[in-house]
Amino acid sequence: MSDVFEKVMELAKRRGFIWPTSECYGAVAGFIDYGPLGAMMKRRVENIWRDFYVIQEGYYEIECPTIGQEAIFVASGHVAGFADKMFQCPHCSEYFRADHVAEEYCFVNAGTMSADELEARLAHEKCPSCGEVLGKVEVFNFNLMFKTTIGPGSQRTGYLRPETAQGMFTDFPRLLRFYRDKLPFGAVQIGKSYRNEISPRQGMIRLREFTQAEAEIFVHPNEKNHPKFSRYAGYTMPLYTSDAQEKKGEAVAVSMKDAVQKGLIANEYVAYYLALTHQMLVAIGIRPDRLRFRQHMCNERAHYASDCWDAEVFSERFGWVETVGIADRTDYDLKAHAEHSGTDMSVFIQYGEPKKVQRRRIVPNMSVLGKQYRQKAKAIFAALEKAEPTPNGTDVTVDGETIHIPADLFEVRDEVVEVRGEDVVPHVIEPSYGIDRMCYAVLEQAYDEDTADGETRVVLRLSPAVAPVQVAIFPLMARDGLDTIAEEITHSLHARGILAEYDDSGAIGRRYRRQDEIGTPFAITVDYDSKEDRTVTIRDRDSMKQARISIADVPEIVCALVAGSRTFASLCK
């Protein structure tokens, strides 16, 4: 009994959407090839993503290497944190997370114990699976990053990035300058990321090499109202809140405005991108009734994220599949990179009006102190700035030595200074899209079988926006000049950037079926009337209806149909 997954993957393989990678040597789990049609469709999905994020939002795209030096991932926490301590039971061969088992046995600070400590302590405990006393186990780190070396001699460690996000963070100072030192702004990146999954399954749902489209939007920590929130304030869609999940409830349709007001969503920024994501997924052809937004429970949320939602698409095969993650990552990443790199990752925010601030300043008598303390003078000056002065002078501690500075060697000035602004480390709103999962969802939902003239017709009901081939051109017969007219029409469409496929092979019905199967939304047929009156038929994939249009109008009509600015029904008078 074959389900939709099997049918659609069989079609995808046969017609050139998705192939197992390096098949001639045996495929490798977690890697796939996009064939000619798949690569085209994926590109169209990515370009729709660009329409939203780059064109509509104005967040420019950058492109960083997929290999990063070790320091990046030390700072991001991936070197230490993207690994799991695991061990295998010597009796039953089961694998376990060492820290999880340790917690079950109530070890104190199980999460921070070293591998050696865990080995020593676990030796006396029983295997959670088979119940035998574990004895000697080997606790090892399994890091999900692919490691490599940079340059000859393997001196320098590099990692394949596990997310594209870090590039936007490490480029932050340059991006800030590019956006002329103002918040908010955003940068996006579409590219490959890599995770060495232990056991990838489920076709293109869990890959070791996959394509992400991520946006990092840098906002003022206290200004999380989106300036264009009105665009989506009334947008209503199903939200599956953490509260509803705890109570075993269901997703409920809420408007973004209400969701923010009721505190279901942390802020307008998160809500804005939830709605934008919904709109975009529908634009690539995801059915709204198979789409919901699930909030992370407190315990599954990364420790630095203040709110996190997954856009989940319902798959007939896999159930609800998380396809997009939208998180408020706060200032975690920028602070980490600032600390590890020593580079400032803050923005100077000017106040509307300069603030007058009362400030006490201790001004040392440089000439006397300098002569008296010589090498120590510099450290003493620094210490004095933070000292608490008394009428009898003050004590400062330099290199463990307490030195008394008499009151006549410094001056205390109470002054009012103008402060024009402050340094702020922005918070980051991160919508992160799994392009491959989106592509799978599009294919699965587009797959359909109907009956035409008593025969089963397989049809991919792809949106014209993502269909790899946008229109097919058929001469009814490949002779009598029909082929020439059809070729001319094909070229006129190519000139408009439309991917039109000419096909004169086989019966006309067979050619329609071939195109139905790869989701080509429209087909134009040149017949003998075309020679007389310069008209052709245009046929709609889904309804299989035809309309007669002038050859001269073909490019404009096809462009309008593909763009969605005109419906096929409007052609049928």
Partner RNA sequence: GCGCCGAUAGUGUAGUGGUUAUCACUAGGCGUUGCCAACGCCUAAACCCGGGUUCGAGUCCCGGUCGGCGCACCA
Task: Point out which residues bind RNA (CB under 7 A).
Answer: 10, 13-14, 20, 26-30, 78, 81-82, 84, 88, 93-97, 100, 144, 162-163, 195, 197-203, 206, 302, 317, 452-453, 455-458, 476-478, 480, 505-510, 512-514, 516-517, 525-528, 536-537, 539, 544-546
Residue 187 CB, nearest approach to RNA (Å) = 18
- Cα-atom radius of gyration of the chain, to the nearest Å? 32
Residue 410 CB, nearest approach to RNA (Å) = 50
**Residue with smaller CB distance to RNA, 91 or 376:** 91
Residue 313 CB, nearest approach to RNA (Å) = 15
**Residue with smaller CB distance to RNA, 75 or 369:** 75
176: enclosing H helix or E strand:
helix 172-178
Place of tokens 């429209």: 522
User: What is the crossing angle of helices 482-494 and 554-563, to 10°?
Assistant: 50
**Residue with smaller CB distance to RNA, 268 or 504:** 504
Residue 529 CB, nearest approach to RNA (Å) = 7
**Alpha carbon distance 67, 24 (integer Å):** 27
**Alpha carbon distance 516, 514 (integer Å):** 6
Residue 302 CB, nearest approach to RNA (Å) = 5
Closest CA to 516 of 499, 485, 535, 541: 541
Please state whether beta strands 236-240 and 252-255 pair in parallel, antiparallel, or not at all (unpaired): antiparallel
**Residue with smaller CB distance to RNA, 242 or 394:** 242
Q: Which residues partner with 236 through β-bridges?
A: 255
**Residue with smaller CB distance to RNA, 35 or 364:** 35
Residue 544 CB, nearest approach to RNA (Å) = 4
**Residue with smaller CB distance to RNA, 121 or 513:** 513
Residue 165 CB, nearest approach to RNA (Å) = 8
DSSP for 429-460 reads EEEEEEHHHHHHHHHHHHEEEEEETTEEEEEE
Residue 543 CB, nearest approach to RNA (Å) = 8
**Alpha carbon distance 69, 40 (integer Å):** 32
Give residue 316's identity as a one-letter amino acid code.
Answer: E
**Residue with smaller CB distance to RNA, 20 or 389:** 20
Q: What tokens appear for 55 in the block?
A: 């064109």
**Residue with smaller CB distance to RNA, 381 or 512:** 512
**Residue with smaller CB distance to RNA, 14 or 359:** 14
**Residue with smaller CB distance to RNA, 442 or 526:** 526
DSSP for 383-447 reads HHHT---BTTBEEEEETTEEEEE-GGGEEEEEEEEEEEEEEEPPEEEEEEEEHHHHHHHHHHHHE
Residue 353 CB, nearest approach to RNA (Å) = 41
Contact in structure between 465 and 281 (CB atoms under 8 Å): no
Residue 256 CB, nearest approach to RNA (Å) = 25
Closest CA to 449 of 513, 522, 511: 513
**Residue with smaller CB distance to RNA, 28 or 563:** 28
Question: Cα–Cα distances in Å, from 384 out to 60, 299, 379, 407, 446?
Answer: 47, 46, 9, 11, 72
Residue 397 CB, nearest approach to RNA (Å) = 40
**Residue with smaller CB distance to RNA, 501 or 527:** 527
**Alpha carbon distance 335, 76 (integer Å):** 10
Give residue 513's identity as a one-letter amino acid code.
Answer: R
DSSP for 192-233 reads EEE---SS--TTTTS-SEEEEEEEEEEE-TT--S-TTTHHHH
User: What is the crossing angle of helices 366-373 and 377-385, to 10°?
Assistant: 130
**Alpha carbon distance 14, 263 (integer Å):** 49
Residue 109 CB, nearest approach to RNA (Å) = 18
**Alpha carbon distance 47, 54 (integer Å):** 10
Question: Cα–Cα distances in Å, from 70 out to 77, 78, 160, 191?
Answer: 11, 10, 10, 20
Residue 291 CB, nearest approach to RNA (Å) = 20
**Residue with smaller CB distance to RNA, 191 or 364:** 191
Contact in structure between 417 and 357 (CB atoms under 8 Å): yes
Q: How many residues are given for the chain?
A: 573
Using CA atoms in the order 308, 311, 314, 319, what is the torsion angle rounded to 10 degrees? -20
